[in-house]
Structure 1
């Protein structure tokens, strides 16, 4: 009766509340529901309510799980789209899988051609390279063959990343970088990031930026959060692994004697697949005082540590124990990449049509690239010290033989008088310090690669390109050589090559649009890929003696010259073409008309070019005859083991069209030659010879091409007789 009266007055909700209050105070029906003790009255209502609450929590958990699955699927979709957009070929995919597959102890032996291995991180790449992603980037491969099975040791593959000026990047770009680094980790390459907040300039005087450590910590936390939000791969702020000797920290800015003091703190996150983010902060060895350090010095210290080169050796340690310890350190980690993310992008080049180096063969091109940057500095009307480098400290490094500091002192006197302006906002009247940063990046790449094995490489690009996932990039099928927009970091990991070939003509790189035409140079993002590379030797040197038809009675180059190793050249040709050469007949045909020979490395590749007389022209050595002679690419060969990788063919082709025959040359290839796709992208024109099994290619600019020259080209390509030992004139 009491409950009925309450219900009539205050409603059913109050009744429920009163019932619950009454049952909490009641000592009736206290039985245990789990023991199946029957309860009556309000206890049954409690059980119902409990079940309802549990049901609601279960539904909530299911909803959270569904949201998590949707987020995971979105991350996976973004990841696989980035991989597919990289357009790696089957050959490059096999090479990548061979390098990043776990050791033979953890996986059974399988054929590298017939299997689709799954990496330890759960990424199955075997099915990604279908018809849409295969054969889009032709390679110089004359005789494709099955790849040999390679036993890959279980190493931790690491990329050392230097990110300059992160404080200038918005959250969207930083999140994109975090997503890309996370994707690299899923592909088997864990990153180690060094932040460069341009502290060196602002620390010329303490008043410019007293909160430099807070700036470093804030930017490191931003990047850690961006990586953590990107997917499975996490990140950790590591602030206490950089040591600095006390005497070099006394000046207030440490640029030398930087080392890794706590290797364990560095290795623990790396082994767990967590990306360490390291600020440019060091701690003195004795007093443990925090001092700013140059980010490039941090990169070099990390390179030496990860490469197994200790900064200090224990004097009492047994030499054999030292050798074994260092060998174990080298076997633990493979430092595969140096990645420099700089707002300025790659290394500029004044002699390149696109304005920068696509591929830097450090063996051959480092000194010319460095001199080109120094020349740019000389031409500046006023030199402003860079905001990321203390010029005063650079000049003080003269004793250490720093060529950059020596140049500054020689060319501009004592630049320390301008230190008061360092760190101040740049005015429109001042030149930007971009050249200084480019020079610093180039020297850092040289220093790092000189420590690492030949297989290691470096990539320099902009943070915006590193943040590009490719998902918003429209397909541009306008021209040969134009591909879907790719992330250069992911593409470089899968292919060990730049986004596009360095030997491609600039006109083949633009994204043409009828509505909004864009010039090829403007549409290319300055990204530079660098490797140790190999030397390229040219006989005769076109810088000394430009290639021209020989004059009767004057000395000329022959293949029996002491400068040329004929047996190795013959082996190169036979290995590349898979056929035996009739050496005697070949020498009889080409000696006396050789234009020049290009050799890459230790005869890993080469090109032999001749001067050919068109049909109907007397070969009498007269000026008229010599004027009609055609520059002809007689042999272009790359060893099988170097075909399709290493950029050997690109090095030779670039030397041919840029240094030897900038006005163009011609060659022919059998119609079914698999390398024709590669030729097609690099030529200015092609012509299938009617009634013949040959396709003619040429690199002559369109303005220089006339009817007579075309007929001369065709006549030469028709008239060349092969010199193979099997005497088979028509190859197809």
Structure 2
């Protein structure tokens, strides 16, 4: 009875139950789990790409959904052009009769030759956007070649990068500091041009040292760290000219101090200042001038607003306490930033010395960038993953997949990128009185596209609500109830996922994954160390429980549910899903050692029949679609 986009009406009935089907479900499930747990395949080398064909392969690996494709085309697709008036050919203009010469149009009269629609679509240039890229050197020539190839891939898709190069091996204050930084910048420019890109070195300072004047007088508190540098629109002239010419600007980490001296600063300060300055400059560009039909930015064809922040370093992403040091997959900076600091193992500082500083940089930059923007921390070994991030704006591996699948996934390596989103605060509400009923009603009706039967729904929530996980200001919610089993069954109440909803405007921005991870931590993942996320709930303390839910058989979201559930059972027009308590599975696996789990454990006998009997009787929360038909 749930969906993030499609309604799933629930009418009380009891479909027939088939024991043979449940046995098959258990066999398939445990065969899958055993194969995952006993799989010891070594991860394949990550993206060793030698030729142009890898650009196509990288596009195929991204595997974008229809929503990803629409979002990409909305950002990079050609903008609709106003219709051009047709100019009739005067009768006195002679028409060529030379069969060997094709007419090419008359520029004087404004007549254009007809072009094949396919050719026109290929020749029509994409609308170009920008990305901010921090290169954390040193890199050898082979590594730099791999990075440059990734930048060329992005340029082909319409994303022009603004690079800031930092070399940790150049000692601060050394006599040859400036020349060494210039040499590193030129080395990056040379690597880009060898891969076919056009690059422009910007060896002077573009940003100014210190906070922006209005920052010192603003009384408003901020949840992010202000940049230690700033820039004004007029300072971006070199970057603007390079982008307008189709060139990739490559900058050194320099700034002007109060005495107009050029000094070396932390590259993070330069990147943060550019993120803010480019957003402000783009806003200025897009402000229409009185008397003009179009804003100035539309004439350049390049939007200065950074669409992506990319941090490319040898160390890759941020280590995760939940994956024994392997990278975080998706980070909600609003709710997880402080907790990642608290759980960062000091032993990781040697291999990941810049991880926390880069995490801080991402939070600052994304605070200024549009909500749809994201940041990615990636290793130099994986240039094609930049394409996947650009097209889908999703992590390489979904963080909401079952832990067993994540543990056995060959894509999860030390070089797996970390995707960072500004995200939303996530909290757990335990009582109906704490809920904002009008906002929750709006969320459910917009997500399911049905009208809520409020009296019946709120009466049911008052009687059986367990908790509600709320994302942001009701941008998403997961409603969990406790369903009482029939008397005599002797079973504990069923933990039932009654609704899982996300506003259409937030589908595709990570809210769905953030909600499901929190749901995991409060139900079937409870009791495990990696379930202690700071979402205001139980924070990992307690015993996990099975999570059960149902969905219409024709719900397109079911594919997403299949990937995240332990098992499912088809019952007529419905599909019953469940996730087993992970603590119990680990306990049983340890008890049986290497023998693994059997197809049907003693504690599982009869539970599918019980779940089916209880869940299928839960009444619908929606008003009938056709009231007249129902009344008649």
Post-superposition shift, 1:308?
2.1
Alignment of 1:700 with 2:581, yes or no, is yes
1:156-305 aligned within 5 A: 156-165=128-137, 167=138, 169-198=139-168, 202-203=171-172, 206=174, 210-231=175-196, 233-242=197-206, 256-257=228-229, 259=231, 262-282=235-255, 288=261, 290-305=262-277
SS in structure 1 at match of 2:359: helix
Contact 1:241 1:263 in 2 (8 A): no
Aligned residue for 1:670?
Answer: 552
Aligned residue for 2:480?
Answer: 609
SS in structure 1 at match of 2:468: strand
Change (3 A) 1:243 1:570: closer
Contact 1:246 1:286 in 2 (8 A): no
Q: Identify unmatched segments of 5+ residues in structure 1.
A: 1-73, 109-113, 124-153, 248-254, 314-319, 381-430, 467-486, 513-517, 541-556, 619-624
Aligned residue for 1:600?
Answer: 471
Change (3 A) 1:506 1:465: farther
Alignment of 1:536 with 2:426, yes or no, is yes
1:258-407 aligned within 5 A: 259=231, 262-282=235-255, 288=261, 290-308=262-280, 332-352=303-323, 355-373=326-344, 376-377=345-346
Higher relative contact order (CA 8 A, sep 6+): 2
Post-superposition shift, 1:459?
0.8
Aligned residue for 1:716?
Answer: 614
Could you say what the CA RMSD is over the residues aligned between the two structures, in angstroms? 3.7
CA distance in 1, matches of 2:83, 2:351: 49
SS in structure 2 at match of 1:336: strand
CA distance in 2, matches of 1:256, 1:184: 29
Contact 1:657 1:699 in 2 (8 A): no
Asked which structure has the greater CA Rg, the reply is 1
Alignment of 1:490 with 2:387, yes or no, is yes
CA distance in 1, matches of 2:608, 2:325: 28
Post-superposition shift, 1:452?
2.0
Post-superposition shift, 1:671?
1.8
CA distance in 2, matches of 1:291, 1:640: 47
CA distance in 2, matches of 1:185, 1:615: 62
Aligned residue for 1:134?
Answer: none
Post-superposition shift, 1:432?
4.8
CA distance in 1, matches of 2:503, 2:209: 49
Post-superposition shift, 1:115?
11
Change (3 A) 1:354 1:717: farther
1:314-350 Cα distance to aligned partner (Å, 9 max, x none): xxxxxx99xx9xx968995221111001222112232
SS in structure 1 at match of 2:237: helix
Contact 2:209 2:255 in 1 (8 A): no
Alignment of 1:588 with 2:558, yes or no, is no
CA distance in 2, matches of 1:677, 1:433: 41
Match of 1:647 among 489, 510, 513: 510
Post-superposition shift, 1:500?
2.3
CA distance in 2, matches of 1:572, 1:116: 44
**TM-score after normalising by structure 1:** 0.60
CA distance in 2, matches of 1:174, 1:95: 30
Residues paired across the two proteins, number = 485
1:47-62 aligned within 5 A: none
SS in structure 1 at match of 2:576: strand
CA distance in 1, matches of 2:122, 2:324: 41
1:293-330 Cα distance to aligned partner (Å, 9 max, x none): 211111122223212269xx9xxxxxx99xx9xx9689
Post-superposition shift, 1:492?
1.2
Contact 1:306 1:329 in 2 (8 A): no
Change (3 A) 1:455 1:688: same
Contact 1:159 1:335 in 2 (8 A): yes
Aligned residue for 2:538?
Answer: none
1:72-129 Cα distance to aligned partner (Å, 9 max, x none): xx96633222212211112211111111123333689xxxxx9999477757xxxxxx
Contact 1:245 1:284 in 2 (8 A): yes
Aligned residue for 1:148?
Answer: none
1:574-624 Cα distance to aligned partner (Å, 9 max, x none): 322232332222333342221101122222221111111223447xxxxxx
Aligned residue for 2:565?
Answer: 683
Aligned residue for 1:142?
Answer: none
SS in structure 2 at match of 1:454: coil
Alignment of 1:451 with 2:424, yes or no, is no
1:137-182 Cα distance to aligned partner (Å, 9 max, x none): xxxxxxxxxxxxxxxxx6x5110100112x3x33222112111101
CA distance in 2, matches of 1:568, 1:286: 53
Post-superposition shift, 1:681?
0.9
CA distance in 2, matches of 1:333, 1:257: 19
1:218-240 Cα distance to aligned partner (Å, 9 max, x none): 33233222211223x31122211
Post-superposition shift, 1:284?
5.5
Post-superposition shift, 1:199?
5.2
CA distance in 1, matches of 2:368, 2:318: 21
Change (3 A) 1:693 1:511: closer
Match of 1:441 among 345, 358, 376: 358
1:38-90 Cα distance to aligned partner (Å, 9 max, x none): xxxxxxxxxxxxxxxxxxxxxxxxxxxxxxxxxxxx96633222212211112
1:421-463 Cα distance to aligned partner (Å, 9 max, x none): xxxxxxxxxx854554112111111111122222222111111
CA distance in 2, matches of 1:452, 1:274: 22
1:522-551 Cα distance to aligned partner (Å, 9 max, x none): x363421112222222113xxxxxxxxxxx
Change (3 A) 1:571 1:262: closer
Change (3 A) 1:727 1:244: closer
Alignment of 1:571 with 2:571, yes or no, is no
CA distance in 2, matches of 1:364, 1:75: 41
Change (3 A) 1:119 1:456: farther
Contact 1:197 1:216 in 2 (8 A): yes
1:392-431 aligned within 5 A: none
Alignment of 1:657 with 2:515, yes or no, is no
CA distance in 2, matches of 1:366, 1:686: 35
Change (3 A) 1:669 1:246: closer
